[in-house]
Amino acid sequence: WCLLLAVVIGCVQCQPTLFWASYPVLPGEYVVLAGTGFKAGSPPSETIVTFNTVKVPAAQVTNGTVKVQVPSVFEVDACNVSVDGSNVITLNAPDIWFYMGDSGSYARAGGWIRFFWKKPQYHC
C-alpha cells in the first residue's frame, strides 16, 4: 500500500496551473498570478516566470499565488505569461463581457454581431 500511495502522490505533483492574473499592469509594476501547484516551500528565486520569452525570478510565492515584477523593457501591451512551464495566460488582454448578433447569441450570414469588452486604458 505504501508503494501505491507513493506512486499516486508522485502523479499528483504536476506542473503548475494558472487561472487568473491581476491587471492592468504596466512594465516595472508587480503582477499577482493565481493558480495551483506552485513551489511555496522553496525560495522565490527558484520559481521562474516567463513573460513572452523573458524569464524572471518570482518575488513572492505561496501555494496559490506568485508575485512577480513585469520586466521594465516591455512595451505597454498584452503579453503571455507562464510559471515553471504552466499553461500560458495573457496579461492586459481585452476582456469580452458579452456579445450579441442579429439573431441573439449568433449572427446569420450577412448579418451583424457586436462585442462589448473592457480593455485596459493607460495614461502614461
Span 53-112, pLDDT tens digits: 899 999 999 989 999 999 988 887 888 999 999 999 999 888 888 899 999 989 999 999
CA angle 34, 116, 111 (to 5 degrees): 135
CB of 68 closer than 8 Å to CB of 49 = yes
The total number of residues shown for the chain amounts to 124
Would the pTM count as exceeding 0.85? no
